[in-house]
Structure 1
Amino acid sequence: MTSSLLYALISVSVKDGIDQFARNLVELGFSIISSGGTYRYLKEHDIAVTSVEEFRQTSLIRRLTAANNAKPEQERIPEQNIHWASQIAGQHAEIHGVLLATTAMADQLEALGMVRISLVCVDYYALHAELERPDATIASIIEAIDVGGPTQATAASKGGRIVVSTPEDRQETINWLRAGRPNEEEFVTRSIAKALANNLAYYAPLVERLSGGDYSVLVLERAQKLGYAENRWMGGADLMRRFGSKDRAAKGALSTFRRKEGSEPGYINYTDADGGRRLIARIENFYRKNGLSIPAIAVGLKHGNPCGVGIADFDTGAGMLRAIRNMVAGNPGALFGGTVMTNFVIDDEAAALLRTYLTGKQKRPIDAVWAPTVTDCAVAQLRRVNNRCRMMVSSSFSYGTTELSVAKRFRQLEADEFLRQGPGDQVFNLNDPHLTKLGRLTKRQRMDMLLGLAICGAANSNTIVITKNGMMLGLGLCQNSRVVACEHAVNGARRCGHNIRGSVAVSDSFFPFNDGPRKLIRAGVGAIFATSGSLNDKAFRTLCRGRKRRVNVVMGPDEMFRMFCKH
């Protein structure tokens, strides 16, 4: 095929960088066809371009004129009628006809005076922005629907053309063309698949909005192929993200992490990291919401749940090391073979603490470390035989910036059904007027209660967490009764030698009986957070604030403050 027969159709609403893409195509022998604003933009940037209208007229007028001239002069239609026909013929029927024509139809195209467009570059009107506008109406949303972009992408896909449907694909396409089109069938097929996925993702939020939630379309793209599944016999596993969310992913999203050292992380590494990221985001947002400085945070995890949590003032390097000490000291044995996530840099001192603090002569094996970065000296200290310590870093994951998800949550059930609910992270101020307080929290108790609230909403229910001095002392989770959860939390703290007196206990719901809180109070807990809504509420308050006890209490309606998680 000669260069004069190479045509590219470009029609985009966002013009950033499109002039350079078009210029590169011209250098590669393409003639550019465009319309409207894109045509004017390219003209203004001194790029040779043919308008869609001119392209349509060139082909259609040629056919109409030839047919008209073949008639006797008295039967010919006026010339202006030919131009009128070209303007209304099929609403760009020539464009879509050219795109749908297969390579086997080259002779038919030539006979009709039409050329083959081999590349299409499109994007879509900003429908998502209209959907997110607070005062958007059904009429304004429908008005914002793009027809041209999705339709051209679909026609080009069916015609087997190269489809460039996102800005990030433009340079990749240029590089591929310059390289001589290696593995052409695979490249074109992938471009078609992405264009069709782009169409689905474009319409997905519109479908849900217009149907009032009766229909949901979830379009995902692979962010990373994982080393192995939850069990190795299950085959492969992938980290997926919502299609098109790469550039607008939440800060510190797991897809932004890259592997600096160690073997490829697997499914469980990511479920652990997800639990850690969510917990760090909750701690940062709870402290911010309550007007407190965001602390340095270190989290240890096993099977997606925290096995150690430590915080400290983020003022100096000493604060970061103190956060690690608090995390490890909470339950030194539980961290063996576990995952660590921090909102600060892991340097050689931090790595040394992770490996040796409270271990005696034995070095603690760490399965994975997730942090903003890990220094080279720290890598050397954390490295294990067979690369079994995965070190994952992300510049997007940094102190004070981790965002909580605001997306709806889906859970797949066994019979290929799904549960859907709203975002699962509630962050509130302890001065919320809906909260009832008995007694006065000390400043330290307030900070520890915020830590406990953050942990409680990120661990499997039923959950009781005990915190003190920026450390998680004990955690009773995933229990069938609240009293057993209290026992687990108290016994875990005692087993690790912690002094529970004056600590804070947080429950993810109300206490139906006094057996659970009685165990906490007898262990020395000085303040308790629980929801209200139980027939036992009055007895619970009397137990905590009786003659012999002065345990501080914070309570709020269960329908507003319950923190059930991971059901």
Structure 2
Amino acid sequence: MRALISVSDKTGIVEFAKELVSLGVEIISTGGTFNALQNAGVEVIGISDVTGFPECLDGRVKTLHPAIHAGLLNIRDNEEHQKQMQELGLSNIDLVVVNLYPFKQTILKEGVKLEEAIENIDIGGPTMLRSAAKNNHDVTVVVDPTDYAVVLEELRANNKVSVDTNFYLATKVFEHTANYDTMIANYLREQRGDYSLPNTFTMTFEKVQDMRYGENPHQGAAFYKEVGKTKGTLADAVQLNGKELSYNNINDANGALELLREFSEPAVVAVKHANPCGVGVGNNVLEAYQKAYTADSVSIFGGIIVTNQIIDKATAEEMCKIFFEIVIAPGYEEEALEVFKLKKNLRVLKLENITYSDPHALTMKKVDGGLIVQQKDLELLIEEELKVVTERTPSEKEMEDLHFAWKLVKHVKSNGIALAKDGMSVGMGGGQTNRIWATTQAIDHGMEFLGEEGVKGSVLASDAFFPFDDCVKAAAAAGITAIIQPGGSIRDEDSIKACNEAGIAMVFTGMRHFKH
């Protein structure tokens, strides 16, 4: 039995090779792996001794040879194959242990140049892996060091690796090479500055963790990270306290972070079931938190709190007066962290670059039989295109509140309505099948927690146009003074007329923010 070993990740390879030799396996190797094995006292044959051809072109060509691939690809019970092998004086290779040039590690290095990345594209390795995996009935192929143990166990017990194990290992190979090739293709597209949606869409993700379950206990789930795209995301967060994150935790926290990134001033966003329930901005994180809490002191219970500020002790103490699942911030004062750690189950995450947003990010939704992909909604509005369509122009204060409300409604599920005043969310209505329901829901929300006076003088944002004037009339009855919406309905004039009659200022953005 002969094994060909050529690995970039040398974890456990010396010990594995020594065990193979003790079982009577002859070892062939190349380059750095050859040196590592020989220096460790493992009897090893150089690849050139098998091919009769020297490694050349700075090591670019060494295993791309018929002596290697015929040894891998010949079918052992095919008489014609065996006859040709004898005529050519070639021998079988029964075990391949290969993992590839560290392309991922290379492109993740700070300041890496294209030339260095290109040199770390493995050619011979994937070719050997694919040859061996294709012929898995006769050849064992190992790409993952964690599989060394099972291979040794079966060789010791049966002097061969089972067909089932070989098939399992071959499957892992094609997963590995697909992942490798996808990383290369996506990296090269980015180097060209090509961010269009291609005819074939391939991405690669690496498992971060298995989860106890998904949205519900009967659903299996796992969390995967996108290679090279984790800056400012939950995949890059460091957990400092509490239980592991669940499927729902991650989904909800992601939505909270997306809304948080709309703000440059000190801000706190509270989210429950992927919907923002309280948002506040202030001169500091404590003031922002107090506003977010006041906006909805019920829904925040058991929710997620995110902020773009370092949390101090006073804010931590205020937060810990209620129960919530997760807090995420770019940092914590030591005393604040000690306060949070008194709640052993509270998940405390530190996320540097918390306000970073990838300008080329995509959003994806799996549908049965396919995938829908779009560019991420990173726009808010275009100031030059704002159009006051009513007799009354919003005051400077109203305009400030309208901008704030527009940030909120962008992240409320459609049909979405958001009310805001004084740097605080007043009420939100989302996920309704008609806009008047969303409007009344937002007003009722505000009335419940802030009362009539809290809602009076607030402004309203709608994620899409008003098809009727009923929303304006409901807003007027609640004392709302200004509205921002995309405009574009064939019945815009009805809403404008209703605003003029009520003395409400209305601004059209020309841009909608559906969120489904």
User: TM-score with structure 2 length normalisation?
Assistant: 0.71
Following superposition, the deviation at residue 188 of structure 1 comes to 9.4
Match of residue 368 from structure 1: 326
Match of residue 361 from structure 2: 406
Match of residue 414 from structure 2: 461
Q: Take 1:381 and 1:375, find their aligned partners in 2: how far apart are those partners?
A: 10
Q: Take 1:510 and 1:542, find their aligned partners in 2: how far apart are those partners?
A: 15
Following superposition, the deviation at residue 324 of structure 1 comes to 0.9
Question: CA 1:384–1:198 in 2, change beyond 3 Å: closer, same or farther?
Answer: same
Counterpart selection for 1:265 from 245, 249, 252: 245
Match of residue 6 from structure 2: 9
SS in 1 for 2:375: coil
Question: CA 1:440–1:202 in 2, change beyond 3 Å: closer, same or farther?
Answer: farther
SS in 2 for 1:340: strand
Following superposition, the deviation at residue 406 of structure 1 comes to 1.6
Does 2:253 match 1:277? no
Following superposition, the deviation at residue 226 of structure 1 comes to 1.9
Aligned partner of 1:121: which letter?
Answer: N
Question: CA 1:487–1:262 in 2, change beyond 3 Å: closer, same or farther?
Answer: same
Counterpart selection for 1:393 from 349, 354, 357: 349
Following superposition, the deviation at residue 474 of structure 1 comes to 0.5
Following superposition, the deviation at residue 378 of structure 1 comes to 3.9
Aligned partner of 1:417: which letter?
Answer: G
Match of residue 51 from structure 2: 56
Confirm or deny: 8 A CA contact 1:222 1:238 kept in the other structure.
Answer: no
Q: Take 1:9 and 1:215, find their aligned partners in 2: how far apart are those partners?
A: 32
Q: Take 2:16 and 2:200, find their aligned partners in 1: how far apart are those partners?
A: 46
Aligned partner of 2:388: which letter?
Answer: K
Question: CA 1:103–1:380 in 2, change beyond 3 Å: closer, same or farther?
Answer: farther
Tell me how large the CA RMSD over aligned residues is: 4.7
Q: Take 1:259 and 1:339, find their aligned partners in 2: how far apart are those partners?
A: 14
Q: Take 1:506 and 1:28, find their aligned partners in 2: how far apart are those partners?
A: 67
SS in 1 for 2:324: coil
Match of residue 92 from structure 1: 65
Q: Take 1:474 and 1:98, find their aligned partners in 2: how far apart are those partners?
A: 71
SS in 1 for 2:497: helix
Q: Take 1:562 and 1:460, find their aligned partners in 2: how far apart are those partners?
A: 13
Matches within 5 A, 1:283-294: 283-284=262-263, 294=264
SS in 1 for 2:143: strand
Q: Take 1:26 and 1:7, find their aligned partners in 2: how far apart are those partners?
A: 15
SS in 1 for 2:311: coil
Does 2:269 match 1:299? yes
Match of residue 511 from structure 1: 466
Counterpart selection for 2:402 from 423, 446, 449: 449
Deviates more, 1:439-448 or 1:330-339: 439-448
Q: Take 1:304 and 1:375, find their aligned partners in 2: how far apart are those partners?
A: 28
Match of residue 155 from structure 1: 131
Aligned sequence identity (%): 22
Match of residue 551 from structure 1: 505
Match of residue 433 from structure 2: 480
Following superposition, the deviation at residue 384 of structure 1 comes to 7.6
Q: Take 2:224 and 2:386, find their aligned partners in 1: how far apart are those partners?
A: 37
SS in 2 for 1:529: strand
Following superposition, the deviation at residue 258 of structure 1 comes to 4.4
Question: CA 1:218–1:239 in 2, change beyond 3 Å: closer, same or farther?
Answer: same
Confirm or deny: 8 A CA contact 1:301 1:339 kept in the other structure.
Answer: yes
Match of residue 314 from structure 2: 349
Match of residue 310 from structure 1: 280
Question: CA 1:489–1:113 in 2, change beyond 3 Å: closer, same or farther?
Answer: closer
Does 2:509 match 1:562? no
Question: CA 1:491–1:552 in 2, change beyond 3 Å: closer, same or farther?
Answer: same
Following superposition, the deviation at residue 392 of structure 1 comes to 3.7
Q: Take 1:451 and 1:51, find their aligned partners in 2: how far apart are those partners?
A: 68
Following superposition, the deviation at residue 476 of structure 1 comes to 1.0
Following superposition, the deviation at residue 248 of structure 1 comes to 0.8
Q: Take 2:152 and 2:281, find their aligned partners in 1: how far apart are those partners?
A: 54
Match of residue 209 from structure 2: 224
Q: What do the CA deviations read for 1:185-232 (whole angstroms, capped 9, x no partner)?
A: 8999987655422333355697999xx866555655432122333222
Counterpart selection for 2:221 from 205, 215, 238: 238
Deviates more, 1:109-118 or 1:346-355: 109-118
Following superposition, the deviation at residue 307 of structure 1 comes to 0.9
Q: Take 1:384 and 1:101, find their aligned partners in 2: how far apart are those partners?
A: 64
Confirm or deny: 8 A CA contact 2:427 2:442 kept in the other structure.
Answer: yes
Following superposition, the deviation at residue 502 of structure 1 comes to 3.9
Match of residue 197 from structure 1: 175
Confirm or deny: 8 A CA contact 1:280 1:402 kept in the other structure.
Answer: no
SS in 2 for 1:475: strand
Counterpart selection for 2:480 from 525, 532, 551: 525
Confirm or deny: 8 A CA contact 2:429 2:442 kept in the other structure.
Answer: yes
Following superposition, the deviation at residue 153 of structure 1 comes to 2.5
Confirm or deny: 8 A CA contact 1:374 1:393 kept in the other structure.
Answer: no
Confirm or deny: 8 A CA contact 2:496 2:506 kept in the other structure.
Answer: no
Q: Take 2:484 and 2:12, find their aligned partners in 1: how far apart are those partners?
A: 64
Q: Take 1:430 and 1:460, find their aligned partners in 2: how far apart are those partners?
A: 22
Q: Take 2:397 and 2:34, find their aligned partners in 1: how far apart are those partners?
A: 63
Does 2:388 match 1:437? yes
User: TM-score with structure 1 length normalisation?
Assistant: 0.65
Aligned partner of 2:411: which letter?
Answer: A
SS in 2 for 1:425: coil
Confirm or deny: 8 A CA contact 1:224 1:255 kept in the other structure.
Answer: no
SS in 2 for 1:532: coil
Confirm or deny: 8 A CA contact 2:244 2:347 kept in the other structure.
Answer: no
Question: CA 1:480–1:23 in 2, change beyond 3 Å: closer, same or farther?
Answer: closer
Question: CA 1:519–1:354 in 2, change beyond 3 Å: closer, same or farther?
Answer: same
Question: CA 1:402–1:367 in 2, change beyond 3 Å: closer, same or farther?
Answer: same
Q: Take 2:364 and 2:93, find their aligned partners in 1: how far apart are those partners?
A: 48
Aligned partner of 2:67: which letter?
Answer: E
